[in-house]
Every structure is written in C-alpha cells, then in structure tokens.
Amino acid sequence: MTTSPTLVLGADLRVNRLGFGAMRLTDGWTGQPRGGRDHAIAVARRAVELGVTFIDTADSYGLGANEELLAEALYPYPEGLVIATKAGQSRPGPELWRPLGRPEYLRQQAELSLRRLRVERIDLFQLHRVDPQVPFADQVGALRQLQDAGKIRHIGLSEVGIPHIEQARAIADVVSVQNLYHLTDRRHESVLDHCAAHGIAFIPWLPVANGRHARSAGPIAAVAAEVGATPAQVSLAWLLHHARVSLPIPGTGSLAHLAENVAAGAVELTDDQVKRLDDLDS
C-alpha cells in the first residue's frame, strides 16, 4: 500500500498525492490496450491495490477507449477512488492534437465520458486545453453548466497560466491545474506557487520527464544511491516535497514501474538532498 501524503480536492475528495496517469494503458490513436487487454486491466487494478486513489484519463486517449478500459477494470469503483477525465483536446489524426472548446462540444464529450466511465457524475472534469478560437469564458461557462446540472462534481484546468486561472475562478470554483512540470522543467513554477497560495491542487504531468529521470547516472541517481531508492522515485519524492499541493500522475503500462512509482511516496529526502535537487534547475 502507498504511504504517500494526501490532499483534498475541492474540500471533499481526499486522495493520495501519488496518482496514476492512465494514458499509457492504451494506444493513443487506435485505443488498443498496450500489452494486451488483460495486461492493461491488470495494471489498472494493481494501481488501486497499491493504494492509488486518483487516476487521470481523458476523452482523447484512444478516442475514448482509455475511459472504457478503466471502467472495465475497476467498475464498480471502490469507495474513495477518484477518476478524473478531460475534454477540449481533439484528435483529428494519429499524430495530431487540436484544442476544441466549443461549449456544445464540451457538453457532448462530458456526456460520452459519463457513459464510458459508467458514472452519473464525474468527480473531476478538466478543460484539456484552452481553445484560442473560443472565448475562454464560454469554455469555463460550459463546465459550470455541467456542474450546475449535476454532471460533474469539480472543475479543473490544464496547461494554463495565472491569468486564465483567475479568469476561470471568477466563473466557477477551480480545484486543480494540470501543467507540464518536473524536476528539470519548472517553467510553470509561478503557476505552482499561485495554486499553493489558493489551495488549488497542482497536477504535474510528465513528472519523471518521460523516463529521463530514471537514468542510472547523474545527480538524481547520486541522491537515489544515498537514500536507497531509484532515480525515478527520487524525482517523484522531490515533487511531493517541493509543494504540498502537488499531485504527480506518473503513467506506465508496466506492473514493475507502477510499483516503483507508488513506493516513491515513502522516500524521505534530507534538506541537503532537496537543495541539491533544487539547484538542478538553476
């Protein structure tokens, strides 16, 4: 079981601060389960067995197949499990991603996610990307309408700056922000600080830099050797230490890597080790 610390989303959903990004369970375009259906289902189930209580997916992961696989693996969902999904990022081709934030599209995708996840209300529904062709207030307004209708519980944003967060908060309560962030890429440090100041969960995606932090040489590996952990675990432990509102979502299709990631919640770092890791971005 995980020993990671916890945080509360929206004052009523307490989750362990090491989540699971489900994207890698399915092929991004065809939706075929990676490693076969039985294996992908086993990974999802094992995440919950290990104590993960926050799973992140999206309507565009495998064109909905990722949500369907999670439902097949985990429904009926155990008490306390939060499955967050996203809409607003379309897939017009295998290698293409395009923001699509028209209100009618967001409402449609929410209905489809409800059906695929087999729930009556989505705990956390996130705007996957801001569509520059649609007034931002209309995009957030669509999510607020879904919330008022009881279709979603909480609203989150993804890949946004402070101005968008504040504009959204004037329309609806925003409980989370999901941005690219990890030990060696802190371009959104000011956003993280803003979230911490306002009690908004910050969800770093790509938290181990697409595997680059798992290398067996370098300063991260040196700290890992000192604490008896792996470099990837140290990278995740740093995220947990760096900000109390951080909720990393390492993703994997490997049972071994899953167990390694979850165990990062028990890794303790000294002040000196944290400082050395902090200095990697300077």
Distance from C-alpha of 8 to C-alpha of 113, rounded to nearest angstrom: 23
Q: Which of 61, 77, 105, 181 is catalytic?
A: 61
Q: Are strands 174-180 and 96-99 parallel, antiparallel or unpaired?
A: unpaired
The β-bridge partners of 54 are 82
Distance CA 86, CA 126 (A): 4
Say whether 61 is catalytic: yes
Q: Ramachandran region of residue 158, left (φ > 0), alpha (ψ -120 to 50) or beta?
A: beta
Task: Find the angle CA(106)-CA(153)-CA(56) to the nearest 5 degrees.
Answer: 70
For residue 188, the one-letter residue type is H
CA–CA dist 49, 9 (Å, integer): 21
- Ramachandran bin of 251, using left for φ above 0, alpha for ψ from -120 to 50, beta for the remaining angles: beta
Q: How far apart are CA 162 and CA 167, in angstroms?
A: 9
- Phi and psi dihedrals of 153, rounded to 5? -90, -50
The tokens 């519980």 sit on which residue? 153
Any idea which residues carry the catalytic annotation?
A: 61
